[in-house]
Structures are given as C-alpha cells and as structure tokens.
Amino acid sequence: QKEVEQNSGPLSVPEGAIASLNCTYSDRGSQSFFWYRQYSGKSPELIMSIYSNGDKEDGRFTAQLNKASQYVSLLIRDSQPSDSATYLCAVKRVQGAQKLVFGQGTRLTINP
C-alpha cells in the first residue's frame, strides 16, 4: 500500500465548475496535510495546509480533512484555465524532521 495515494488523472473539469481532488494516506498518526500545485516545468508551490478535521477555506480553495477515514481533499470552486496543473498531496508523519511524504499527484485540466 502506498503511503499517500492520489488518482493520477488526468482530471478534466469545465471552466467555472468545481474541481475535486482526493488523497488517502496510510499512516494513521499523520499530523499535517498539504496541497501543492505544480505547473509543468515548475517547482511545487504550497496552496493549502490543514491540521485538524473539517474544512478550511482560502479564496476559491477548500481543503477537507477526515482523519478517521484517512482522507484529505481539495476543492477548487469556479475553476479557471490557470488552475490547470498537477496537484500534489503531502502528509507529514509524526516522527522525524519534516519527513513529508508526497503522493504522485493528480493532473488537472480546466477546459475553457
């Protein structure tokens, strides 16, 4: 079982719709959860972090965490073509110095 699993996609969403990206993790003791966006040929950039169960909203982005189900998701409202990128889910384990484990990423395409 992979430590952090994401559907690699590609996920195609029409412009203006809600894009929903999902991630599951295997380490039940994980504490911190992050979503990074990576444009083609560029480095990952942090867009959301979440540490407790529930929803966290930041502009058009909402991160959702359910520790009982070991599931974290990212919703993008009013999707724009500029949101087309690969989205990486990352999970921090309890122990170790910033031992961040990444999923393989979901490639998202927003169609105009």
Partner 1 sequence: ETGVTQTPRHLVMGMTNKKSLKCEQHLGHNAMYWYKQSAKKPLELMFVYSLEERVENNSVPSRFSPECPNSSHLFLHLHTLQPEDSALYLCASSVNRGSYNSPLHFGNGTRLTVT
Burial of 7 (0-12, 13-18, 19+ CB in 10 A): middle
Of 73 and 79, CB closest to partner 1 = 73
DSSP 60: T
- The site string for partner 1 over 71-110 (x = CB under 8 A, - otherwise) reads -----------------x-x-x---xxxxxxxxxx-----
Of 4 and 19, CB closest to partner 1 = 4
Look-up of token digits 């395409």: 109
In DSSP notation, 63-109 reads EEEETTTTEEEEEESS--GGG-EEEEEEEE-SSSSS-EEE---EEEE
Of 42 and 77, CB closest to partner 1 = 42
Residue count, binding to partner 1 (CB under 8 A): 24
Residues in the chain: 112
The nearest distance, CB 63 to partner 1, in angstroms, is: 13
Contact call for residue 10 and partner 1 (CB under 8 A): no
Contact call for residue 45 and partner 1 (CB under 8 A): yes
Please state the φ and ψ torsions of residue 108, each to the nearest 5 degrees: -110, 130
Q: Return residues touching partner 1 (CB under 8 A).
A: 2, 4, 8, 32, 34, 42-46, 49, 88, 90, 92, 96-105
